[in-house]
């Protein structure tokens, strides 16, 4: 893979670069946020390792820019910030994983491989005609949705939202991401339209069912979880 490391601590950057190159990857290193995003814009990277505390730009700002790109590569945050708030914020903004310093390279290697396996599985699922999670499934050819033997009467936006949830099962999804995916607007929703849409879909999925599937994550967004 071609991997971009955005890390201002020279020893950590060298340690990561050496290990990744020994695994057969091509690695570029940026020691500040502006250089990192410049490299990202010019290159075709398959993975990004991102420090949060950069000397010029917040790593969160870099993450926002990367996540805003269509078909962006996976991102693992590597940071000395260990608070739950920082972890939640990083994952909500689009990071695929969050590791606190110090960490072992062997664990990082395993996490990178796990993320790539999930991405490959998601790509395969995206191109399948039927998408199924638990007892919920959608038929993409007919744009129909089912829970068990019951056909769900969904509007176009409700169907799009359900498909998005099924593609991201178990992952926190922010209201902004839902708004951008369903309405195709790259901005934060200024009304409660996302809440209303999720509520309508939740009611149709939950009708007569014990397992409620869609959980609200306070201050973050929602998660679709068939294993509750």
pLDDT of 126: 56
pLDDT of 96: 87
CATH class of 2-124: alpha beta
pLDDT of 227: 61
By DSSP bridging, strand 144-147 and strand 136-139 are antiparallel
What is the chain's pLDDT, residue by residue, as a tens digit (228 residues)?
Answer: 899 999 999 999 999 999 999 989 999 999 998 999 889 888 789 999 999 999 999 999 999 988 888 778 899 999 998 888 888 888 888 888 899 998 889 889 988 988 887 777 666 555 567 888 889 999 988 889 999 889 999 998 999 999 999 988 888 888 888 887 887 665 566 678 889 999 999 999 988 676 788 999 888 889 998 765
pLDDT of 152: 93
Burial (CB count <10 Å: 0-12, 13-18, 19+), residue 162: buried
pLDDT of 170: 85
pLDDT of 72: 83
Contact 6, 30 (CB under 8 A): yes
pLDDT of 16: 95
Rounded to whole angstroms, the Cα distance separating 95 from 81 reads: 15
* Domain locations in the chain as residue ranges: 2-124, 128-224
pTM of the model: 0.56
Sheet of 221-224, strand order: 173-174, 221-224, 214-217
H/E stretch holding 168 reads none
Per CATH, the architecture of 128-224 is what?
Answer: Orthogonal Bundle (1.10)
- Do the domains 128-224 and 2-124 match in fold? no
Q: Which residues pair with 112 in a beta bridge?
A: none
pLDDT of 48: 95
pLDDT of 91: 87
């Amino acid at each position: 893979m071609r991997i971009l490391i955005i890390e201002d601590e020279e020893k950590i950057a060298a340690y990561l670069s050496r290990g990744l190159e020994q695994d057969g990857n091509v690695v570029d290193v940026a020691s500040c946020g502006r250089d990192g995003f410049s490299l990202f814009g010019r290159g075709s990277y398959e993975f990004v390792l991102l420090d949060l505390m950069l000397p010029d730009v917040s790593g969160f700002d870099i993450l926002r820019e990367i996540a805003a790109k269509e078909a962006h590569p996976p991102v693992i945050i590597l940071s000395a910030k260990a608070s739950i708030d920082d972890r939640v914020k990083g994952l909500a903004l689009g990071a695929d994983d969050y590791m606190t310093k110090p960490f072992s390279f062997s664990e990082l290697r395993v996490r990178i491989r796990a993320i790539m396996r999930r991405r490959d599985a998601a790509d395969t699922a995206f191109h399948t005609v039927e998408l199924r999670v638990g007892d919920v499934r959608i038929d993409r050819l007919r744009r129909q949705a089912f829970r068990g033997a019951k056909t769900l009467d969904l509007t176009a936006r409700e169907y799009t939202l359900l498909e998005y949830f099924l593609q991201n099962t178990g992952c926190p999804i922010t209201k902004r991401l839902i708004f951008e995916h369903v309405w195709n607007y790259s901005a934060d929703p200024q009304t409660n339209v996302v809440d209303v849409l999720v509520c309508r879909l939740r009611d149709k999925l939950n009708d007569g069912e014990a397992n409620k599937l869609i959980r609200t994550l306070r201050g973050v967004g929602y998660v679709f979880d068939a294993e509750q």
